[in-house]
Amino acid sequence: MKKVVLIAGDGIGPEITRSVTKILKTAGAEIDWVECLAGEGAYKESGNPIPQDTLDAIEEHRIVLKGPLTTPVGSGFRSVNVSLRQEFDLYSNIRPAKSLPNIDSPFNNVDMITFRENTQGLYIGKEHWADEGEHAESIAVVTRTASNRIIRAAFDYAQKHNRNKVTLVHKANILKLTTGLFLEVGKNVSKEYPDIEFQDLIVDNMAMQMVLNPQQFDIIVTTNLFGDILSDLASGLVGGLGVTGAANIGDNAAMFEAVHGSAPDIAGKNLANPIALLFSSLMLLDYLGETGIRNRITAALYRVLQDQKYVCTPDIGGKGNTETFTEAVCAALQY
């Protein structure tokens, strides 16, 4: 039985976590959950949003399923999510966006996956005042090593999962050194994968193309800031952050998470939508090699969305709640 660190998170986190772990148990997933704290709840309890016990557990077990976290306001701490990704060098942020049955969205037949470099770019937080109160500067760092490993991860994924095309997104026409380096590495890596189509697009053109014809894209790979923006845009094309999962994977650790907010306004009201965290848990099952269980849960979820959407939560047009959705997926697993 595999041990996996479970961080329920803040706000609606505990509710959607209970839902997802129940579905996984019903499907027969043999996971020994190691429950830990992080985020605002941990800060209130211990004065630290990432307690040492949590870091030690992740260090030992190397796999995490995490609900949404709230970084305490005014505490002096940076984003808990970013800190965890950097602490364990989880350099690949992987965000699938796929059209779902009966989910209102502008497009059909969207099926794209964004690979976002997770450790560099502007998000390293190297900022300073050049003239206090008048002139602030921020430094973006892009290295050949980090570029190579994220781009190679995208191509390896495409090859393993029979995907046909990788699109590299950059701004090398203006940011000639940083994203120019990223593009140079991408062109070199692409030569090692002759069976996979490669293209590069400037980020502003990419954003326009995504809302004009998203079906043209398959695997997208880009830098940290661009990936943050484009992966949320991709989610919007298929129904929003509430229906898309995410993984953060490095060479020796992995964290699977819901990237939507903790929604404190509906916490404890049995209204939270667990689908994003459920999709993240399916990526976890894939990482563990449990593809059979993953496929069974996927099929059960699709049956519920197709035939019993009324049991789903109101945010996706249902008349149900967290519990009715969970029970419906569990029931669908029996067939």
Would you call 218 a catalytic residue per the annotation? no
Q: What is the dihedral of CA 44, 47, 52, 55, to 10 degrees?
A: 50
Would you call 56 a catalytic residue per the annotation? no
Would you call 171 a catalytic residue per the annotation? yes
Catalytic residue among 157, 171, 200, 309: 171
- Give the residue from 45, 95, 37 showing the smallest Cα distance to 226: 95
- Give the residue from 6, 21, 5, 9 showing the smallest Cα distance to 61: 5
- Give the residue from 149, 334, 111, 56 showing the smallest Cα distance to 234: 111
Catalytic residue among 53, 104, 156, 204: 204
Q: Are 140 and 228 in contact (CB under 8 A)?
A: no
Within 10 angstroms of residue 89's Cβ, the number of other Cβ atoms is: 15
Would you call 315 a catalytic residue per the annotation? no
Catalytic residue among 123, 157, 200, 309: 123
Report how far residue 278's alpha carbon sits from residue 296's, in angstroms, rounded to the nearest whole number: 13
Query: What angle separates helix 291-307 from helix 322-332, to the nearest 10 degrees?
Result: 120
Length of the chain counted residue by residue = 335
Within 10 angstroms of residue 28's Cβ, the number of other Cβ atoms is: 12
Report how far residue 204's alpha carbon sits from residue 189's, in angstroms, rounded to the nearest whole number: 23
Report how far residue 34's alpha carbon sits from residue 25's, in angstroms, rounded to the nearest whole number: 15
Report how far residue 62's alpha carbon sits from residue 248's, in angstroms, rounded to the nearest whole number: 12
CA 197 to chain CA centroid, Å, is 24
Q: What is the dihedral of CA 119, 122, 123, 129, to 10 degrees?
A: 140
Catalytic residue among 10, 66, 228, 309: 228
Q: Identify the three-state secondary structure at position 46.
A: helix
Report how far residue 198's alpha carbon sits from residue 190's, in angstroms, rounded to the nearest whole number: 7
Q: Are strands 111-117 and 219-222 parallel, antiparallel or unpaired?
A: parallel
Catalytic residues: 123, 171, 204, 228
